[in-house]
Structure 1
Amino acid sequence: MAIYNSDFKNQLLESILTKDGDLNSFELIISWFTNLKMYASLEIKECSINQTQNWSIDDLSVSHDSGKYFEVLGVKCKVGNREMSEWYQPIIRQREEGIIGFIIKKINGIYHLLIQAKLEAGNFDVLEMAPTVQCITGSYNNPEYNVVYLDYFLDKKGIVHYDTLQSEEGGRFYQEQNQNIVIEIGEDELNEIHPNYIWMTVKQAKAFIKFNNYFNIEARSLLACITPV
């Protein structure tokens, strides 16, 4: 169930409208993001499903042998009021629910979000700004991955302001849901953060949304759920 009281809403609004209190300037955030892009790289190459490890294909889907992560289904779509009334397409079905969350705290009296620079296949420019934690399809359960700050959300370390299941875009993801959480921590916590993360105000975050290829869709969606304007 979502938790979203009027006092929190009013304090968020104050963080959006205030002109002072930014820990980091807009220029510093852009410099941080640009510098990370200089060292980030991602190589993508096509391969046969037979060349992959532990992935299998049958008449209905492409899936991982462990039963984790996701599977790719082939679907036939029929719609009466579209430019095409019938078509075939792949669609992704998650095997496990994921977690998408912001850590927030007050710095100089106003709310700041802990934002990460996240590398993902499909990003237009290698990196995009993402929520503090973004683990879709339950990938945080994989012992091979070390998800920074995940324990704050699993153990609810702080004041939970928002906590609800959100459905993802249904044209590409089959009945996918992820837990969306916003947790406030104390002002004396996380003063030293991972270099791939940065604090920015809600006002700064909303400014970046105006431009392409900065905030990813998960960050945009969660921010839209909690911001009053």
Structure 2
Amino acid sequence: MLIKSLLTTENKFNSTAELIEWIKRRNREVQVSVETIPFAEMEYWHQDKDGSLHHKSGRFFSIQGIKVQTDYGKINEWMQPIINQPEVGYLGILTKEFDGVLYFLMQAKIEPGNVNCVQISPTLQATKSNYRQVHQGKKPNYLDYFVNAKPEEILLDQLQSEQGARFLRKRNRNIIIKVSGEVEVKEDFRWMTLGQIKELACRNNMVNMDTRTVLSGLKLSDYQNPLDDNSQMTEFGRGMMLSSSTNHSLFDMRHHLSWLSGLKAKYDLLVFPTPIYNMPDWKVTDYEIIREDKKYFKVIGVRVTIANREVASWCQPLVAPMQQGLCAYIIKKINGVYHFLVQAKLECGNYDVMELAPTVQCLTGDYSKAIIKPPFCDYVLNARPEQIIFDTLQSEEGGRFYKEQNRNMLIEADDYFPIELPEHYTWMTLNQIYSFLCFNNFLNIQARSLLSAIQYR
């Protein structure tokens, strides 16, 4: 059922071409206005005397200052603004079987920070403040399906982290349910197969971050039947299935758990609240919270008007990047099995010091101009065309980030790429990565987003 969905790219509801045209049409039709405004003009928000930004309800999220101290890496102390959103939101996808194929009910959703306004989003994408209607708007569509889901309907249910460099210990509930009754397909929703979603993910900024993180939790090899006809899969796709199911690996799970536990015990991460006005290297203007050197990111205020949202108009802060980022996995066949080069990465907003991250993750500095680049960055950037398996621009979450997009890549290493690695890196099969993904706060959102990009056909 799920494997058939993975291998089905045309269906009785919508062809892939029709889905692309639907997104383009919604971009043309839905009226969207995002206007940069002074912080003082953001309705229902206030700026404290320390420079932090809060919603007057006390809910949603806030922008606060933090001081970070760590003995990890070359920079051991810094201050920065961060998004504090202690609520656990819903990222949910509703599925239903039609003629032996599993379909996913996806939404054409507009977020104020989206690069291209409309992107393919989960069925339900809502903070706790949203679905409890703190904004006094309409209840999100399909919420009751997830709130009232029976255990036998749940295909996936995990608490997963958000961006650790921008959010302070933020998590969302990633959930996929399968229903059997009639489902009303509301405006701005369409049924899609998993194959179609993966096909659309090969296009720049088409499938949003929340969809990618939810789908990353599906371990497809668990749904593979020995009798399934996998002739539609590419050789690479079959290699990914093998990596996802085999117990043959360079290192066993006991080794990986000891490696990660040792690093978490070795390094300290201390985070303290601090006034934004007192942060060296940062300045607060009427319109921005920005570094003096204009590096990394800034915080802006916006007034948003979107025709088809639960609330048509509102104000809020957004985090705007100062450059495009890079997220990439290097993969290599070791003893006939694909292994992923994974790093343990410390970020200031992490729950538990370190999370597993892609081989290369450059989000907070201009990696293209850096004199000393992160390990393996040059290898990724200089990869030959035949080594590049996946290469697209993917958006970060447009509800909090303003037009942030990162280059997402999968690179296959050549025969000369070394097996030996620095302390913070290791080789894992896809099966081992999914073992960590079953639990909270092990795999960061950049790592999960790239997993959803793996193509099988």
Q: TM-score range by the shorter chain?
A: 0.7 to 0.9
Tell me the secondary structure at the aligned position of residue 452 of structure 2.
helix
Structure 1's 94 and 163: CA in aligned 2 closer, same or farther, altered over 3 A? same
Q: Which of 236, 251, 274 is matched with 1:8 structurally?
A: 236
Worse-superposed segment, 148-157 or 217-226: 148-157
1:72 aligned residue: 299
Paired residues for 1:39-188 under 5 Å: 39-77=266-304, 81-82=309-310, 87-141=314-368, 143=370, 146-156=373-383, 159-188=387-416
Contact 1:8 1:161 in 2 (8 A): no
* Relative contact order, higher structure (CA 8 A, sep 6+): 1
Structure 1's 215 and 36: CA in aligned 2 closer, same or farther, altered over 3 A? same
- Measured after TM superposition, the shift of residue 220 of structure 1 is 0.4
Amino acid at match of 2:333: K
- Measured after TM superposition, the shift of residue 141 of structure 1 is 4.9
1:197 aligned residue: 425
Structure 1 runs of 4+ with >6 Å offset: none
Q: Deviations over 1:41-97 (max 9, x none)?
A: 122223333433332221111112333311111234456653x66654321111110
Contact 1:99 1:136 in 2 (8 A): yes
Contact 2:342 2:426 in 1 (8 A): yes
Identity, % of aligned positions: 39
CA distance in 2, matches of 1:2, 1:163: 8
Cα RMSD after superposing both structures: 2.6
CA distance in 1, matches of 2:412, 2:348: 30
CA distance in 1, matches of 2:336, 2:370: 38
Worse-superposed segment, 40-49 or 55-64: 40-49
Gaps of 5+ in 1: none
CA distance in 2, matches of 1:202, 1:102: 12
Contact 2:326 2:406 in 1 (8 A): yes
CA distance in 1, matches of 2:387, 2:378: 14
CA distance in 2, matches of 1:143, 1:166: 22
Does 2:216 correspond to 1:216?
A: no
Worse-superposed segment, 185-194 or 71-80: 71-80
Contact 2:234 2:456 in 1 (8 A): no
Structure 1's 156 and 100: CA in aligned 2 closer, same or farther, altered over 3 A? same
CA distance in 2, matches of 1:40, 1:86: 45
CA distance in 1, matches of 2:349, 2:304: 25
TM-score of the pair, normalised by structure 2:
0.46
